[in-house]
A and B are shown apart, each in its own frame.
Chain A
Amino acid sequence: MTAMDVRERDPYRIHGGHGHALGGPAPIRIVVGYGFWIFLLSDIVMFSAFFAAYAVLAGKTAGGPSGAELFNLRNVAIETAALLLSSFTCGLAGLAVTARRSSWFYVAMTVTFVLGASFILLELREFVHMVASGAGPTRSAFLSAFFTLVGCHGLHVTAGLLWLLTMMAQIFAKGFRDDILRRFMCFSLFWHALDIIWVALFTVVYLLGASR
Chain B
Amino acid sequence: MLGKLSWDVIPFDQPLPMIASAVVALTILGVLAWVFLAGHFPYLWREWITSVDHKRIGVMYTLLALLMLLRGFSDAVMMRSQQALAFQAPGYLPPDHFNQVFSAHGTIMIFFGAMPFVIGLMNLVVPLQLGVRDVAFPTLNSVSLWLTATGALLVNISLVIGEFARTGWLPYPPLSETAYSPGVGVDYYLWAVQIAGVGTLLTGINFVTTILKMRAPGMSYLRMSMFCWTSLAASLLIVAAFPILTATLAMLTLDRYFGFHFFTNEAGGNMLMFVNLIWAWGHPEVYILVLPAFGIFSEVISTFSSKPLFGYRSMVAATLFICIVSFMVWLHHFFTMGAGADVNAAFGIATSIIAVGTGVKIYNWMFTMYGGRIRFATPMLWSLGFMVTFVIGGMTGVLLAVPPADFLLHNSLFLVAHFHNVIIGGVLFGAFAGYTYWFPKAFGFRLHEGWGKLAFWLTLIGFYATFVPLYAVGLLGMTRRMQHFDVPAWYPWVLVAGAGMIITTAGVVAQIIQLVVSIRQRAALRDSTGDPWDGRSLEWATPSPPPVFNFAALPHVEGEEPYWSIKQRAREQNRLRDEPEYEPIEMPRNSPTGFICAFFATVMGFALIWHIWWMVALGALGAFATFVVFAWRDKPEYVISAAEVARIDRANRSARREALATYTGPRP
A and B touch in the complex (CB under 8 A): yes
Residues of A within 8 A of B (CB): 18, 20-26, 30-31, 34-35, 38-39, 41-43, 45-50, 52-53, 56-57, 60-62, 64, 137-142, 144-145, 147-148, 162, 166, 170, 173-174, 179, 183
A74→B219 CA distance, assembly (Å): 55
- What are 29 A-B pairs at a CB distance below 8 A? A20-B215, A21-B215, A25-B214, A25-B554, A26-B213, A31-B213, A35-B206, A43-B243, A45-B239, A45-B240, A46-B243, A49-B248, A49-B280, A53-B273, A57-B270, A60-B268, A60-B270, A62-B267, A64-B267, A137-B254, A138-B260, A138-B261, A140-B261, A141-B264, A144-B260, A144-B262, A148-B260, A170-B631, A183-B631
Chain A residues contacting B239 (CB-CB under 8 Å) are 38, 41-42, 45
In the complex, are the beta carbons of A57 and B273 less than 8 A apart? yes
Chain A residues contacting B405 (CB-CB under 8 Å) are none
In the complex, are the beta carbons of B208 and A141 less than 8 A apart? no
| Contact of B246 (CB < 8 Å), options: A18, A46, A52, A53 | A46
Flag whether B247 is at the interface (Cβ < 8 A): yes
Q: Mark B236-253, 1 if CB is under 8 A from A, else 0.
A: 000111111011101100
Pairs of residues from A and B, 8 with the lowest C-beta to C-beta distance, nearest first? A60-B268, A46-B243, A141-B268, A49-B247, A144-B260, A35-B209, A24-B217, A62-B268
In the complex, are the beta carbons of A61 and B268 less than 8 A apart? yes
* A170 to B: closest C-beta gap in Å: 7
* A162 to B: closest C-beta gap in Å: 8
Flag whether B7 is at the interface (Cβ < 8 A): no
Chain B residues contacting A49 (CB-CB under 8 Å) are 243-244, 247-248, 277, 280
A97→B213 CA distance, assembly (Å): 25
Flag whether B509 is at the interface (Cβ < 8 A): no
In the complex, are the beta carbons of B262 and A57 less than 8 A apart? yes
Interface of chain A, helix or strand or loop or mixed? helix
> What 8 new A-B contacts, CB under 8 Å, besides A25-B214, A138-B260, A138-B261?
A22-B217, A42-B201, A42-B243, A46-B244, A57-B270, A62-B267, A174-B634, A183-B631
Given contacts A41-B239, A45-B243, A148-B251, contact A34 B270 (CB under 8 A): no
Chain A residues contacting B634 (CB-CB under 8 Å) are 174
Given contacts A38-B239, A144-B254, A170-B631, contact A137 B217 (CB under 8 A): no
Chain B residues contacting A162 (CB-CB under 8 Å) are 624
In the complex, are the beta carbons of B212 and A25 less than 8 A apart? no
A35→B212 CA distance, assembly (Å): 10
A173→B270 CA distance, assembly (Å): 51
A179→B137 CA distance, assembly (Å): 13
A31→B243 CA distance, assembly (Å): 22
Residue among A18, A35, A148, A183 with the most chain B CB within 10 A? Answer: A35
Residues of B within 8 A of A (CB): 132, 136-137, 201, 204-206, 208-209, 212-221, 239-244, 246-248, 250-251, 254-255, 258-262, 264, 266-270, 273, 277, 280, 554, 624, 628, 631-632, 634, 636
Residue among B204, B212, B213, B262 with the most chain A CB within 10 A? Answer: B213
A31→B212 CA distance, assembly (Å): 9
In the complex, are the beta carbons of A50 and B216 less than 8 A apart? no
* B277 to A: closest C-beta gap in Å: 6
In the complex, are the beta carbons of B215 and A24 less than 8 A apart? yes
In the complex, are the beta carbons of B215 and A25 less than 8 A apart? yes
In the complex, are the beta carbons of B212 and A34 less than 8 A apart? yes
A35→B239 CA distance, assembly (Å): 11
CB closest chain-A residue, reference B219:
A21
Chain B residues contacting A23 (CB-CB under 8 Å) are 217
How many inter-chain contacts with C-beta < 8 Å in the A-B complex? Answer: 138
A53→B248 CA distance, assembly (Å): 9
| Contact of B267 (CB < 8 Å), options: A42, A48, A140, A173 | A140
| Contact of A138 (CB < 8 Å), options: B209, B218, B219, B258 | B258
In the complex, are the beta carbons of A53 and B251 less than 8 A apart? yes
A26→B217 CA distance, assembly (Å): 10
Chain A residues contacting B136 (CB-CB under 8 Å) are 31, 35
* B250 to A: closest C-beta gap in Å: 8
CB closest chain-A residue, reference B213:
A26
Residue among A21, A24, A34, A170 with the most chain B CB within 10 A? Answer: A24
A173→B206 CA distance, assembly (Å): 29
A62→B264 CA distance, assembly (Å): 12
Chain B residues contacting A24 (CB-CB under 8 Å) are 215-217, 554
* B506 to A: closest C-beta gap in Å: 43
In the complex, are the beta carbons of B277 and A52 less than 8 A apart? yes
In the complex, are the beta carbons of A26 and B214 less than 8 A apart? yes
A127→B395 CA distance, assembly (Å): 53
In the complex, are the beta carbons of B258 and A179 less than 8 A apart? no
In the complex, are the beta carbons of B248 and A141 less than 8 A apart? no
Given contacts A31-B213, A49-B248, A138-B260, contact A148 B254 (CB under 8 A): yes
A210→B111 CA distance, assembly (Å): 42
* B83 to A: closest C-beta gap in Å: 36
* A82 to B: closest C-beta gap in Å: 25
Given contacts A42-B240, A60-B270, contact A25 B132 (CB under 8 A): yes
| Contact of B636 (CB < 8 Å), options: A35, A45, A138, A179 | A179
In the complex, are the beta carbons of B269 and A141 less than 8 A apart? yes
| Contact of A141 (CB < 8 Å), options: B209, B216, B270 | B270
Chain B residues contacting A20 (CB-CB under 8 Å) are 212-213, 215
Given contacts A21-B220, A22-B217, A141-B268, contact A53 B262 (CB under 8 A): yes
A57→B201 CA distance, assembly (Å): 27
Chain A residues contacting B628 (CB-CB under 8 Å) are 166
Chain A residues contacting B268 (CB-CB under 8 Å) are 57, 60-62, 140-142
A148→B258 CA distance, assembly (Å): 11
Residue among A26, A53, A139 with the most chain B CB within 10 A? Answer: A53
Chain B residues contacting A140 (CB-CB under 8 Å) are 261, 267-268
Chain A residues contacting B241 (CB-CB under 8 Å) are 45
* A148 to B: closest C-beta gap in Å: 6
A30→B215 CA distance, assembly (Å): 13
Given contacts A22-B218, A31-B213, contact A60 B269 (CB under 8 A): yes
* A209 to B: closest C-beta gap in Å: 15
A141→B205 CA distance, assembly (Å): 33
Residue among A23, A48, A141, A166 with the most chain B CB within 10 A? Answer: A141
* B52 to A: closest C-beta gap in Å: 15
| Contact of B631 (CB < 8 Å), options: A31, A148, A166 | A166
Given contacts A45-B240, A49-B248, A170-B631, contact A38 B208 (CB under 8 A): yes
A40→B651 CA distance, assembly (Å): 44
Chain A residues contacting B636 (CB-CB under 8 Å) are 179
A130→B201 CA distance, assembly (Å): 35
* A165 to B: closest C-beta gap in Å: 11
* B304 to A: closest C-beta gap in Å: 30
* A176 to B: closest C-beta gap in Å: 15
A60→B270 CA distance, assembly (Å): 9
* B292 to A: closest C-beta gap in Å: 18
In the complex, are the beta carbons of A50 and B269 less than 8 A apart? no
* A200 to B: closest C-beta gap in Å: 15
In the complex, are the beta carbons of B247 and A50 less than 8 A apart? yes
Chain B residues contacting A137 (CB-CB under 8 Å) are 254, 258, 260
